[in-house]
Structure 1
Amino acid sequence: MKRIVSILLMTFIVMSMFTTATFASNSEISKRNKVVNVAHRGASGHAPENTMAAFHEAFKMKADYIEIDVQMSKDGELVLIHDTTLDRTTNGTGYVGDHTLEELKQLDAGSWFSDEFAGEKIPTFEEVLDAFRGKIGILVELKSPELYPGIEEKVANALKERNMDKPRNNKIIIQSFNHDSVLTTKSLLPRIPVGVLAGMSWKDVTDQELEEFASYADYFNPNMNILDAELVDRIHDIGLDIWPYTVREKEQADRLLKLGVDGIITDFPEYVYDHPGRHK
């Protein structure tokens, strides 16, 4: 009887070890396959960029984050628009910073995309925070912050007023092509993750430069065209995550997923979800 009990006990221990190892292995696979789906300026392949319509569409499509571009009006209000001028995405003209919020709110930011979206307005940063906090992550790009002295403080204050400067409660990340602005933001919001955006000129980024970024940033978010397997490995080795931009074709998403990036910034969230390796 004791012999039988011993055999059963040994079998149970071996099976437990195998199950634990298998679970750990599956967990690692799941972690590797979890690619963050970032809707670029909202689901901007389906609705006019940086509008509430695009953000709501991204939410409906179950994107993990919306990416937004923050600038400042003439009277110091935070508004969402990509270009520093109004001409491409509204029926207005001139520089964003030369218009008050009241003037900007009178513009049509949707008709350029489709008559279906006629009358869409330029939203404020605060409007988007209030509508989407706790519902979807928000990747905040400070757009041309050198044109708007003090924009980092205004963004920080808007987040603090809503108790959104604590990352355990909110999925907020702030990034910019202006790396000095990223440093300023980190000093104001030390608990919020930040990222450095990198255009084509960073194709030959050195390990020393990556180490410098890693001293204050959490993400290195490059133009997708500079990435290859070797650069992805170097960025990961330094401890940074990679969310490249901007995917507009399915084949582009497939290539980036094979390279092992951590997130993808895309106009079409469905291109990331459709990939068989994407952990949903």
Structure 2
Amino acid sequence: MKHTIFGPMLAFTLFFCLLQVVFVPKSAGEVRKIFTIAHRGASGYAPENTIIAFDKAVEMKADYIEMDVQRSKDGKLVIIHDTTVNRTTNGAGAVKDLTFDELQHLDAGGWKGEHFSGERIPLFEEVLARYKGKIGILIELKAPELYPGIEEEVVKKLKKYNLDKNESESIIIQSFNFKSMRKMKQLLPHIPIGVLISRQENATKQSIKDFSAYADYYNPSIDLLTEELVLTAKSEGMKVLSWTVRSPETAEFLLGHNIDAIATDYPDYVLAQ
């Protein structure tokens, strides 16, 4: 008799659980993953675009490190944000006018504090080799118009480290130069491409639709971010990454929007929310 009753009861219980899975709205208790992008590494805590900043981002369990790629006078791909070395090193001059050896002799950490003295401008290839498989890498092509052919050179390095297929989305490439990003999508069709947006003219419905023809990420500055902007980008099939968090309040504001990733100088401001 017990077996006769137990069978129907078990069936009913399983059916009721199935109904709950199917009909409970996704918003009820849903955990939404927002990727934390360590902007130039954990640059709030260590000198930007240096190995120590990238190591700190890994230690803090960010999802990605973001870095800026440029080219030295003798053709080496290097990691530095500004098109001159003046702000973040003890040297002066344009990156494109200095050889890699000259760049390597600059102190890229002392400006952030004496205990960071001796940090160097890294090679792009050095970063790929060190962090492949440890953390996602967001590559920004900085002023690619200054470096003809840099897109092909970046692709060559990614292929060397088998990072050109990107099944796990471990690599993302972005730039303010939209022409360069269209080219990158042709060269690397399997790699997510992002467009960096800082002007209102690039935040219209038509411009967003145009970007979606080749971009996978629409990346507006926090000053431009609105719910309507997010909805429009997502309706065109793009993910949204906004930047840059430098306070807990800004992190809270961005986390209140339905975006996919947040670039931050302080990874813990986002991770702690």
Common fold by TM > 0.5 = yes
Matched with 2:82 is 83
Paired letter, 1:29: E
Please report how far the alpha carbon of residue 7 of structure 1 lies from its aligned counterpart in structure 2 after TM superposition. 3.4
Map of 1:120 onto structure 2? 119
CA distance in 2, matches of 1:9, 1:55: 53
Find the counterpart in structure 1 of residue 51 from structure 2.
52
1:67 lines up with 2:84 in the alignment: no
Structure 2: distance between partners of 1:206 and 1:20: 38
Structure 1 position 21, deviation (Å): 3.5
Deviation at 1:197, TM superposition (A): 0.4
Letter of the structure 2 residue corresponding to residue 20 of structure 1: V
Letter matched to residue 8 of structure 2: I
State the distance in 2 between where 1:204 and 1:145 align: 19
- SS of residue in 1 equivalent to 2:47: coil
1:168 CA displacement: 1.6
**2:65, 2:135 within 8 Å by CA — same for their partners in 1?**
yes
Residue identity in the other structure for 1:50: N
Matching residue of 1:185: 184
Q: Give the conservation status (yes or no) of the 8 Å contact 1:219–1:241.
A: yes
Which stretches of structure 1, 4 residues or longer, exceed 6 Å deviation after superposition?
none
Does the CA contact (< 8 Å) of 1:133 and 1:170 recur in 2? no
- Alpha-carbon offset, residue 18 of structure 1: 4.0
Matches within 5 A, 1:92-131: 92-131=91-130
Residues 223-252 of structure 1: CA deviation (Å, up to 9, x unaligned): 111111221211122211111111101111
- TM-fit CA distance, 1:175: 0.4
Q: Which residue of 2 aligns with 1:16?
A: 17
Identity of aligned pairs, percent? 50
Provide closer, same or farther for how the CA distance between residues 6 and 127 of structure 1 changes in structure 2, counting only shifts above 3 A: closer
* Residues 1:72 and 1:169: Cα distance change in structure 2 (over 3 Å): same
Indicate the residue corresponding to 1:278 in structure 2.
none
2: CA distance, partners of 1:246 / 1:16? 42
Provide the residue aligned with 2:249 in structure 1: 251
The question of whether the paired residues in 1 share the 8 Å contact of 2:202 and 2:208 is answered with: no
Structure 1 residues 262 and 169 mapped into 2: Cα distance closer, same or farther (>3 Å)?
A: closer
Q: For structure 1, which runs of at least 5 residues remain unmatched after alignment?
A: 276-280
> Pairwise mapping of residues 1-280 of structure 1 onto structure 2 (< 5 A)?
1=1, 4=5, 7-18=8-19, 20-21=21-22, 25=26, 29-30=30-31, 33-168=32-167, 171-199=170-198, 201-202=199-200, 205-275=203-273
Query: Alpha carbons of 1:226 and 1:89: their partners in 2 closer, same or farther (altered >3 Å)?
Result: same
Aligned partners of 2:174 and 2:194 also within 8 Å: yes
- What is the rounded CA distance, in whole Å, between the counterparts of 1:242 and 1:189 in structure 2? 20
CA–CA separation in structure 1 for the residues paired with 2:76 and 2:13: 65
Alpha-carbon distance between aligned partners in 2 of 1:170 and 1:205, rounded to the nearest angstrom? 25
After TM superposition, the structure 1 stretch with the greater mean CA deviation from structure 2, 204-213 or 14-23, is 14-23
| Worse overlay, 231-240 or 34-43 | 231-240
Q: CA RMSD in A?
A: 2.0
Q: 2-side partners of 1:77 and 1:211: how far apart?
A: 36
User: Partners of 1:182 and 1:138 in 2: how far apart?
Assistant: 16
Measured against aligned partners, the alpha-carbon deviations of 1:82-107 in whole angstroms (never above 9, x if no partner) come to: 00011100011010000000110010
* Cα separation, 1, equivalents of 2:40 and 2:15: 52
Measured in 1, the distance between the counterparts of 2:135 and 2:211 equals: 27
Mapped contact 2:173–2:193 kept (Cα < 8 A): yes
User: 2:197–2:203: 8 Å Cα contact kept in structure 1?
Assistant: no
- TM-score normalised to structure 1 length: 0.92
- What's the offset of the Cα at 1:170? 5.9
CA distance in 1, matches of 2:74, 2:169: 28
Q: State the AA in 1 paired with 2:14.
A: I
Q: Give distance in 2, aligned partners of 1:41 and 1:27.
A: 35
1:190 Cα deviation from its structure 2 partner: 1.1
